[in-house]
Structure formats: structure tokens, C-alpha cells
């Protein structure tokens, strides 16, 4: 203790119904200091290759970030990792809210869960008092009821509850986790893994209100105050506070890259009905935030009447707005808010749910499936009732929803014919609502990312096009160049490699993507100062980037051990086909140029270009040569 952490790891064996703690040495923690790195370390060391994601022998890791719980805006996130039941690859998802800081306050850096309980249980953590408690009466109930019941049983209304919903209980392969009902570990199916273990929830309460063992608290507190004041003066942070992420609807639609009707088009004619002005006028009821964060980017909505929405579950953000909006051909904002609420009640990922429904809509319209397969549902683009009904069927794994609960890749294989062409996924994970035809680094991240298609692997190209922009100037310390958004080649590969390491380090720290530059308002050198003050370590930017790179290599090695290689680092065919209309009419990704850039990226990362496998030399340079031994064994 004394480096911003307790080093305490809580181990939970649900088969034996046994819990114990162990101490992590500082030299280990410095190599894997939280979040993505710490989760990857335990996953690679303890997950037996080939173990099914939903087996009792699978490993589930909940890991706090290095800075989680610091009194600094955006330092509230934690990582959940396991083998993904959706992809079979490394699964990982981050969330903000209040659970991570509370776990830190209770004195734990991570929880490692193994085994399967004979009947539903939940885990109660109150500082050193850890119990596995009966959850039979909670199974089948929705998150709001569960959170209320657990707080009542424990006699504390401030207990923070991380939980699955009916989607996780029913093993929907993209089931999520939620804390405070509106903060989600959304991607890769971590809720299904927790559900397979009969673990309904983890409830935590801690006494300490600040990171234990902080080396120099004064500069941390001072920086926190400075950043809180800066939010309103920084254009990117203020935009997030004002609109949340909903402003992207207009921005991307105007640019011709708003995913529409299963990524067939990049312009949605109903965008003005689901954009921020409509949102603010029709459904906005309040703003929320995460622990100690001044950005306050979370939206709360109120909808009454036919599509009445429970505001406890928050409001749709950009991905959900376009996923159930333009990508499903729907311009009914209240129905989209209802779709968001349904996903949050079942606790299933809005990105994978909406993308899988959009895929099914295209299959329906092309005659690959019909009413006989869908149970009479006219699953066409623009059909609000069909979309809402299908969400419920997915969450309950009933009827046609049971097939869609498998994800678009498995559903396409079952449907057959041309269906796989219309499943917009990478490695089995559905694409977020960002079209790489307009910003190719997003495509590089989709292809090379260990979890599959994810839009948070690196800063998007559009933020670094203008050398006079706030975002580009903030990125200068990282050593990136200002490049056209659609440029491919060695320069783009170099930019991507740097920005991926920086974003990966952000997941190690527990900082939100909307905090550090270049995406937002916390300067690169301020992150370095913050890590130094919290840990007392004499670190520089190069070491932080190396920590991020180390975390990525751990996850890549996990995938290698599970049979993944360069053949899996591919994009859906549609992205190499030109957009048919709008400002980007005729634009497609050049497949030869993309492949050459991927090759250059493998070289930069120290991965074998033929196999995409990390080389021993690179792993040695990252001080994890033990990983090379695992790969060669």
C-alpha cells in the first residue's frame, strides 16, 4: 500500500461458496496497474484456453482503474473481463457510475469470480465483511426492483449494486451489467457470463471516501478543482455537458456517415426528428453524472402515453439513438426512448441489440426470413411495433428472439443464404454506429480490436484533420500528425498505433473516454501529473503509453491462445462497397489500401504480419516475456 492502491484482490469461488483476499505486490501492480491491464493479466494467467465462456470453469474479472475514485472528473470507470460468449474472444467492457469508486472505497482493486452457484446468489461486500447471500427471490426481477430489495435487505440506501437483468439470466450473448440502473458494461456479453454463474448482483459499500495510500493528495485535489472549472470553458467538454453524445446525430448525418438501414446508407431522412433539438424539446427531463464528474453527460428522459418510459433507466445516448433510429429506419424519438428503456430493463447491450434487429430487418425485406420465422412480426425497416416487440423477445429468449439473442453472426449462419453478408460484425461483435468509410481509423480499430468492433479503441480521425483544432493541438504531445480522415497508409497506421496505446492506457486508469485529450478537456501532461501524484511513481508519457500497449498485447495473446489470427481481423464486405447517396456518395474503403495499412500496423505493433501474433521481441520489450512462453507452449 502507498501507491494509490491497497493491492487487495477479492477471490470468489461460487462452486465452493468461498471468498478470500490476497495481496498484489507493487512490482506486479506497476506493470498491470488496474483496469484493462489488471484484468488482462488475470485472464491470461488463469483462464484455461478452450474453456467455454459460459462454463463454471470460466473466469470473470472486475478490475478498478488506477485512478478510479480520485476526486477528478471522469475518473470513475472500472473494467469487467471474461471470455466473450458472443465472440469467443477476449471480452471486456468498461462502465462509469458509482460502483467502481465504491469498490475502491471498500479497499479492493479487483474481484475474481470462478465457479457456479447451485442456486441464484448475490455478493455483498461491506469493507472486509464479504458474504455470498441468497438471491432466489431476486431472480427474474428487473433492475430497479433488485436494487431496492438489496438496499433494503442490507439496511443501507447507498449500497452500490452491479447487476444483471433478465437478459443475463437468459444468457443473451450480448447481455450487459448495470450499476445505478443507468451505467452499463455494455459490450461483449459480460452479463451472460455472470448469469451463467448464477450470480445476480455484486453489492458494495466502503468507508473510505478517497483512494487509499495516495502518495500526494494535495495536487490531486487541486487538479480536480481546476478541471471542474474548466468544463464550461472547453468547447468539447461543454458540448458533452450540454448535449451528451446526442449531438453526433446531426454531425454525422451532415457528413454523410450516419449508419442508416443496416449501414446501407449514410444519410437518414428522419434525422431531424431524433437529433438533439428534438430530444431536448420532446423527452429530456434531467441530466446525470458519474462519481465526481463535472461533465454530466448522462441524459434522463420522461415519456408518457403509448411509449411511457421509466426515467430511472436513463435516456438514450448517440449509439442508441441511431441504432434504433436511423439504422432501423425509425424516426419516432419516443419509441427509441422506449427501446432504450427496454434494453436497460432487460440489461442487454443497445448496440448489439439494435444492430442485430437491423440485420434481421434487412433479411426480412430481402426475403431470407418471413412471418413464419418471426412469429408473424413484420420486421421491416421503420416498423416501430416490430422493433419494440423484438427487443422483448430477445430479452426473454422467446420465439424469433431466441435466435437473435445469439447475435447477428450466429443468426446469419442459421438463416443461411446471403444472410452473412448483411450481418455487420467483426469477430461476432456488432458494429457501433460509426461508419469507417468516413473515418478509416475506426475501421482499423474494428478490425484489429481484441473484442471485435468497438469505437473506443482510438481517437476518431475526424478530430485530428484540422491542425488548428482544439483536439489536434491537445494531441501534439502524443506525437501524432494531422491527416485526412479517409487517408490510409503508413502515416495513418502510425497515428492509430499511438492513439490506441493512449486509449488503452485510459482504460487502465479508469478515466472515461470523454476526459483526457484529445477527445476532451484533460491535457496529456495533466494525466502524467495525476498518475505521479497518486502513485508516487516517477513515470513519464512513454511509460504510460507502454502500459497501454502492454494491456493490448495481453488481450491479443488471449485471442491467439483461442485460435484467432490475422484472418479474423477483417471488416464486413459492405464497408468496401460505395455509399449510394448523400455527401459521401460513391465513397468506400479501398480494400487493397486497407490491407496494406493493416500490414504496416502489425509491423509497428511488433506483431507477425502473417499471423498477427505478438513477437517475443516485442513482448520482452514490454516486460511480459512470460506471455511469449505461453504462446509457444
pLDDT digits (tens, 9 = 90+) for 78-127: 999 999 999 999 999 999 999 999 999 999 999 999 999 999 999 999 99
Confidence of residue 210 (pLDDT cuts 50, 70, 90): low
Residue 40 maps to a domain: yes
Same domain (yes/no): 146, 285: no
pLDDT digits (tens, 9 = 90+) for 381-434: 999 999 999 999 999 999 999 999 999 999 999 999 999 999 999 999 999 999
The whole-number average pLDDT for the span 148-169 is 98
Same domain (yes/no): 514, 616: yes
Q: Say if CB 535 and CB 215 are below 8 A apart.
A: yes
The whole-number average pLDDT for the span 212-236 is 89
Alpha helices (H) in 275-424, listed in sequence order: 276-282, 318-324, 333-346, 350-365, 371-374, 384-396, 400-404, 408-415, 419-422
> Which residues sit opposite 179 in a β-bridge?
162, 183
The whole-number average pLDDT for the span 295-322 is 96
Q: Say if CB 575 and CB 436 are below 8 A apart.
A: yes
The whole-number average pLDDT for the span 483-508 is 98
User: Would you call the peptide bond into 300 cis, given omega within 30 degrees of 0 as the criterion?
Assistant: no
Residue 171 maps to a domain: yes
Residue 423 maps to a domain: no
Residue 233 maps to a domain: no
Q: What mean pLDDT, rounded, does the chain reach?
A: 96
Residue 254 maps to a domain: no
Residue with more model confidence, 5 or 356? 356
Same domain (yes/no): 21, 165: yes
Neighbours of 632 (CB within 10 A): 7
Same domain (yes/no): 161, 129: yes
Q: Which of 2-11, 85-94, 162-171 has the lowest mean pLDDT?
A: 2-11
Same domain (yes/no): 349, 456: no
Same domain (yes/no): 469, 581: yes
Tally of domains within the chain: 3
Structural domain harbouring 191: 8-205
CATH of the domain at 156: 3.60.9.10
Same domain (yes/no): 454, 403: no
Same domain (yes/no): 506, 628: yes
Same domain (yes/no): 93, 187: yes
CATH of the domain at 356: 1.10.569.10
Burial class (CB in 10 A: 0-12, 13-18, 19+), 215: middle
The whole-number average pLDDT for the span 588-609 is 98
Q: Which of 354, 383, 417 is the last residue of a domain?
A: 417
Residue 244 maps to a domain: no
User: Parallel, antiparallel, or unpaired: how do β-strands 8-13 and 110-114 relate?
Assistant: parallel
User: How far apart are alpha carbons 479 and 200 in whole angstroms?
Assistant: 45
Confidence of residue 1 (pLDDT cuts 50, 70, 90): low
Confidence of residue 501 (pLDDT cuts 50, 70, 90): very high
Residue with more model confidence, 10 or 217? 10
Same domain (yes/no): 406, 444: no
Residue 405 maps to a domain: yes
pLDDT digits (tens, 9 = 90+) for 347-367: 999 999 999 999 999 999 999
The whole-number average pLDDT for the span 229-255 is 94
Tracing cell 485471442 back to the chain, one arrives at 559
- The pLDDT value recorded for residue 214 is 84
Residue 140 maps to a domain: yes
Same domain (yes/no): 394, 444: no
pLDDT digits (tens, 9 = 90+) for 177-191: 999 999 999 999 999
Pull the grid cell for residue 555: 488481450
Same domain (yes/no): 345, 482: no
- Name residues whose C-beta falls within 8 Å of residue 521's C-beta, 6 or more positions apart in sequence: 227, 230, 231, 234, 236, 237, 515
pLDDT digits (tens, 9 = 90+) for 84-95: 999 999 999 999
Confidence of residue 208 (pLDDT cuts 50, 70, 90): confident
- The pLDDT value recorded for residue 583 is 97
Amino acid at each position: 500500500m502507498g501507491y494509490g492502491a491497497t493491492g487487495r484482490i477479492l477471490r470468489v469461488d461460487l462452486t465452493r461458496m468461498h471468498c478470500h483476499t490476497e495481496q498484489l505486490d507493487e512490482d506486479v501492480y506497476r506493470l498491470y496497474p488496474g483496469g484493462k491491464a489488471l484484468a488482462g493479466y488475470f485472464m491470461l494467467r488463469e483462464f484455461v484456453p478452450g474453456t467455454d465462456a459460459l462454463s463454471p470453469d470460466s473466469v470473470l474479472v472486475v478490475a478498478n482503474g488506477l485512478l478510479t475514485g480520485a476526486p477528478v472528473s471522469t475518473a470513475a470507470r472500472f473494467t469487467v473481463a471474461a471470455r466473450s460468449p458472443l465472440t469467443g474472444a477476449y471480452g471486456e467492457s468498461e462502465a462509469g457510475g458509482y460502483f467502481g469508486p465504491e469498490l475502491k472505497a471498500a479497499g479492493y482493486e479487483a474481484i475474481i469470480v470462478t465457479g457456479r452457484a447451485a442456486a441464484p446468489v448475490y455478493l455483498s461486500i461491506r469493507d472486509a465483511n464479504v458474504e455470498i447471500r441468497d438471491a432466489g427471490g431476486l431472480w427474474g426481477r428487473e433492475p430497479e426492483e433488485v436494487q431496492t430489495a438489496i438496499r433494503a435487505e442490507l439496511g443501507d440506501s447507498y449500497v452500490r449494486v452491479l447487476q444483471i437483468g433478465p437478459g443475463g439470466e437468459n444468457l443473451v450473448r450480448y447481455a450487459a451489467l448495470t450499476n445505478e440502473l443507468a451505467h452499463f458494461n455494455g459490450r461483449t456479453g459480460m452479463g451472460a457470463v455472470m448469469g451463467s454463474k448464477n450470480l445476480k448482483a455484486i453489492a458494495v459499500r466502503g468507508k473510505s471516501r478517497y483512494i487509499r495510500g495516495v502518495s500526494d493528495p494535495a495536487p490531486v485535489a487541486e487538479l480536480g478543482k481546476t478541471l471542474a472549472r474548466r468544463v464550461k470553458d472547453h468547447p468539447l467538454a461543454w458540448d458533452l455537458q450540454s448535449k451528451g453524445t446526442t449531438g453526433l446525430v446531426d454531425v454525422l448525418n451532415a457528413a454523410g456517415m450516419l449508419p442508416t438501414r443496416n449501414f446501407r446508407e449514410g444519410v437518414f431522412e428522419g434525422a431531424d426528428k431524433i437529433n438533439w433539438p428534438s430530444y431536448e424539446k420532446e423527452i429530456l427531463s434531467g441530466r446525470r453524472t458519474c462519481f465526481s464528474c463535472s461533465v454530466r453527460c448522462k441524459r434522463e428522459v420522461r415519456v408518457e402515453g403509448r411509449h411511457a418510459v421509466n426515467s430511472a433507466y436513463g435516456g438514450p445516448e448517440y449509439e442508441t439513438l441511431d441504432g434504433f433510429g436511423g439504422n432501423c429506419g425509425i424516426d419516432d424519438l419516443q419509441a427509441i426512448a422506449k427501446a432504450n428503456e427496454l434494453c436497460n430493463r432487460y440489461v442487454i447491450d443497445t448496440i448489439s441489440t439494435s444492430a442485430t434487429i437491423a440485420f434481421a430487418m434487412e433479411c426480412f425485406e430481402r426475403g431470407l426470413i418471413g412471418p413464419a420465422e418471426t412469429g408473424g412480426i413484420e420486421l421491416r425497416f421503420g416498423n416501430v411495433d416490430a422493433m419494440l416487440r423484438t427487443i422483448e423477445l430477445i430479452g426473454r429468449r422467446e420465439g424469433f428472439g431466441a435466435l437473435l439473442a445469439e447475435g447477428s453472426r450466429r443468426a446469419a449462419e442459421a438463416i443461411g443464404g446471403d444472410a452473412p453478408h448483411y450481418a455487420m460484425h467483426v469477430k461476432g461483435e456488432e458494429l457501433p454506429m460509426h461508419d469507417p468509410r468516413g473515418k478509416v481509423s475506426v475501421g482499423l480499430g474494428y478490425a484489429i480490436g481484441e473484442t471485435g468492433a468497438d469505437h473506443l479503441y482510438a481517437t476518431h480521425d475526424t478530430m485530428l484533420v484540422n491542425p488548428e483544432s482544439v483536439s489536434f493541438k491537445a494531441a501534439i504531445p502524443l506525437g501524432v500528425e494531422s491527416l485526412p480522415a479517409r487517408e490510409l497508409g503508413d502515416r495513418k497506421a502510425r497515428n492509430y498505433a499511438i492513439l490506441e496505446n493512449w486509449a488503452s492506457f485510459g482504460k487502465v486508469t479508469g478515466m472515461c473516454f470523454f476526459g483526457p485529450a484529445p477527445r476532451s478537456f484533460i491535457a496529456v501532461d495533466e494525466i502524467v501529473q495525476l498518475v505521479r501524484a497518486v502513485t508516487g511513481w516517477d513515470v513519464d508519457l512513454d511509460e504510460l503509453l507502454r502500459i497501454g500497449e502492454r494491456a493490448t498485447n495481453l488481450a491479443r495473446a488471449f485471442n491467439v491462445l483461442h485460435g484467432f489470427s490475422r484472418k479474423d481481423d477483417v471488416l464486413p464486405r459492405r464497408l468496401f462497397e460505395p455509399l449510394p447517396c448523400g455527401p459521401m456518395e460513391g465513397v468506400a474503403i479501398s480494400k487493397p489500401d486497407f490491407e496494406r495499412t493493416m500490414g504496416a500496423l502489425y509491423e509497428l505493433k511488433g506483431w507477425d504480419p502473417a499471423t498477427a501474433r505478438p513477437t517475443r521481441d516485442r513482448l520482452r520489450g514490454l516486460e511480459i516475456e512470460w506471455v511469449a512462453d505461453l504462446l509457444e507452449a
